[in-house]
Structure 1
Amino acid sequence: MKEEHSLWTKEFVILALSNFMLFVAFQMLIPTLPVYITDKGGDQLAVGLVVSLFTVSALLVRPFTGKALDSMGRRPVLLSGLGIFLLAVCGYYWMASVALVLALRFVHGIGWGIVTTTYGTIVSDIIPAARRGEGMGYFGMFTNLAMAVGPLIGLSVSQAWGYGWLFGVSGGLTALAMILSRLVEIKAPIAATHPGSAVSGGLFEKKALFPALLALLTGVMYGGIVSFITLFGKEVGIENVGLYFLFNALSLMLIRPLSGKLFDRKGPFWVLMPGGVITGIAVLVLSYSTTEVGLIAAAILFGVGAGAVQPSLQAWTIQRVDPSRRGAATGTFFSAFDLGIGGGAMILGAIAKYTGFALMYRYSMLVMVLYLVIYLVYAVRQSKKATAPKAVSS
């Protein structure tokens, strides 16, 4: 294979490992920080704010991060984000009140928004264009592995040694991610095809808006699942809902490289359409599940569908934009996905209040129908443009 098409370069492997360490550090706190809040006297509202404050701050900072990546360079933005993330993780233990923990959570979200946008941009620089879908799939596989092991590590550490060790281990992994990132040869932002576009361009990249819209819709589905799966389990009598996350993560890990290769060879349509259909079916299966077998089947289907769609949308976003606007495009993409998760949790939660969670999931399938209709109309219009005869000049 030609060197310029090599995927598993030293930079790619180190960056993937650095991202893996960061995601483990983050996932360790997902099941443990709410307990930490309640141990300090926080109520259910405070626990809810742990998620919402983090999401809001990450959402707000992403567009500015994308702009900074294109105008200032990758490394200083990455290191500043990792530094903020590290200080927040280590600072949780020293916060004397729930209010201070929540304030620090907002700062933590800023660091998270910066680093995840930056990692996504840097890896898009490193991956060869001809293997972008496959590369994004493998890079996402490391993230899914972290999602599978991170919560387990966090719970084990906090239960065995306490919160001091929990935040210490999470901070240590973040520091390790920072050290690994320094070993990556990060290239300066690629010169713009149109000079001045990186500086004069806005916070959001217009060419990334359509994939970002589709990402927003998939985020609504994901937000509904992660926010209410435990309550759904109680509603229908499934005790071990943790099996959903385990099998979902395993399914994501297996499908992402395969869907990435299909994206590179056949184009986005052959991944985004079937992936959307499978995602919709997965939510429908989940809504009718009353046993662990049904839950596992829904988890596997959702992993296949979402695992095909999300990295392919991200790769497609990068393909559509000028190299000098990759930072802004990545920020636009992740901002839309975050907005979908947060908005989906609020809207679907309001629906579930009146319908119950099973029926709410069936209604949420309409979001995926909308996704399919929008993308199908777009694909048909693009096909007509490609086959339309060109005007003959006289």
Structure 2
Amino acid sequence: MEPLFVDEKKRKPLWTKAFLITSLSNLLLFFSFQMLIPTIPTHVSQLGGNDIQVGLVIGIFTISSLLTRPFAGRALDLFGRKHVLLVGLAICALTIAGYTYMAAVTLILAARFVHGIGWGMSTTSLGTVIADIIPAERRGEGMGYYGLSNTFAMALAPLTGLWLMQTYGFPRVLLISTCLALLSLFSSLFITYTKPMPVEKSAQRPKLMDRLWERTAMLPSGLLLCTAICYGGIVTFITLFGHEAGISNVGWFFLCNASMVLIVRPITGMLFDRKGPEWVLLPGALFTLAGLLLLSYAHSEASLASAAICYGIGFGSLQPALQAWTIARAAPNRRGAANGTFFSANDLGIGLGAMVLGALANISGSYALMYRYSTVLILVFILIYGWCFWQARRGVQVAQR
């Protein structure tokens, strides 16, 4: 594990050429992906797909991505970062281009499975590459800035995709999305960085699970799982909640949420580097909890915006801090496996949020109650991290005696 705190005079530069190119490649890839989230289900519906098939458009993609990440993480540590990254980006670009020629719903679903493989490989690779590039003493700050590329894409790409589809048709959406994926692939060719130093191999061959998953990443990934389930419930049911609560424009939630994420990520990243994870994770969890509670009681656009501001502060703080903490806990030669474990938890959480919280809403008969009950997951987050932090502090005090 690397030290979190370094003398200010010895801090290495963050805004290097490699950092900027990797962030740009991530922005292009996520913009390409986010453009398809609201448009491809609509396209499948227009082709005659039923509700189950429309749901499978997201579900199959998530499953294949989730299954791919552990193997992608292992491949990153064995064969090098750029090889896996370029293959993943090529799969994404080719699959998006292939959607143009698929007139049958079954073919699109098959392509979504392949697309998920490319997505799992490329996003895990980019997360590992950026972890290698960012100086250890600025990892929280760097992850915060890097995460802004995801936020920009989430805020603008779905609206862009819908506008293109309504104005020019779905083929134009695919053309632009393909070009963005190709640009991500092209820019990734110019990423250069120092490879992590190899470590001595143990005489005993590690178990399969230890090769695919990183044990040191389990705690932050488990905490991420709690927040991702809540987020899955938001992105899946926020529109239906708006109808239930009589809120005509739920777009305010995403706009305010994205705005707060853009503001807080650089700030909390620097706080993580200077003070440690506890200064970000506990306050971030409390803001997330407050955001969910406010959302469950929202009955107007103003109250929805207030909920989004609180949730955005929490969400914008937690995800990059958890990823930076994951990387700090892992050995350099295990960063690929650590990122695979981390992103798998995110995928699994969003998928579980859509299914489990959907079932909870069906049982309770209210989306507001669903969001209220989901705060239990954030309380679990606080209890688990609080206990681990207390144990760590207790261990330090015992060692100092």
Normalising by structure 1, report the TM-score. 0.96
- Provide closer, same or farther for how the CA distance between residues 18 and 7 of structure 1 changes in structure 2, counting only shifts above 3 A: same
2:188 to 145, 163, 181: 181
Q: Does 2:92 match 1:112?
A: no
Residues 1:335 and 2:363 are matched in the alignment: no
Aligned 1:164-243 pairs, distance under 5 A:
164-192=171-199, 201-243=210-252
Q: What's the counterpart of residue 355 of structure 2?
A: 346
Alpha-carbon distance in 2 for matches of 1:387, 1:76: 45
Aligned to 1:122: 129
* 1:132–1:264 contact (8 Å) kept in structure 2: yes
Deviations along 1:177-232, one digit per CA (max 9) or x if unpaired, are 11111111144343226668998851000111111110111111111111110110
Please name the residue that 1:386 is paired with.
Answer: 396
Aligned with 1:94: secondary structure?
A: coil
* Structure-2 separation of matches of 1:153 and 1:198: 49
Out of 50, 55, 60, which is 1:48 matched to?
Answer: 55
- Aligned residue for 1:6, secondary structure, equals coil
Aligned counterpart, 1:254 = 263
**Distance (whole Å) between structure 2 residues aligned to residue 241 and residue 62 of structure 1:** 32
- Secondary structure of the residue aligned to 1:235 is helix
Query: Which residue matches 1:69?
Result: 76
Percentage identity across paired residues of the two chains: 50
> How far, CA to CA, are the matches of 1:160 and 1:227 in structure 2?
25
Q: Say whether 1:314 aligns with 2:310.
A: no
Contact 2:132 2:195 in 1 (8 A): no
Question: Over the residues paired in the alignment, what is the CA RMSD in angstroms?
Answer: 1.7
Aligned residue in 1 for 2:156: 149
> Which residue number in structure 1 is paired with residue 3 of structure 2?
none
Residue 31 (1) aligns with residue 41 (2): no
- Give the TM-score taking structure 2 as reference length: 0.94
Tell me the distance in 1 between the aligned counterparts of 2:245 and 2:181.
Answer: 39
Distance 2:261 2:203 in 1: 39
**CA pair 212-196 structure 1, distance change in 2 beyond 3 A:** farther
Structure 2 Cα separation of the partners of residues 299 and 242 of structure 1: 10
Equivalent residues, number: 391
Matched, 1:325 2:334: yes
Alignment gaps of 5+ in structure 1: none
Unaligned 5+ residue runs, structure 2? 1-7
Deviation at 1:2, TM superposition (A): 6.3
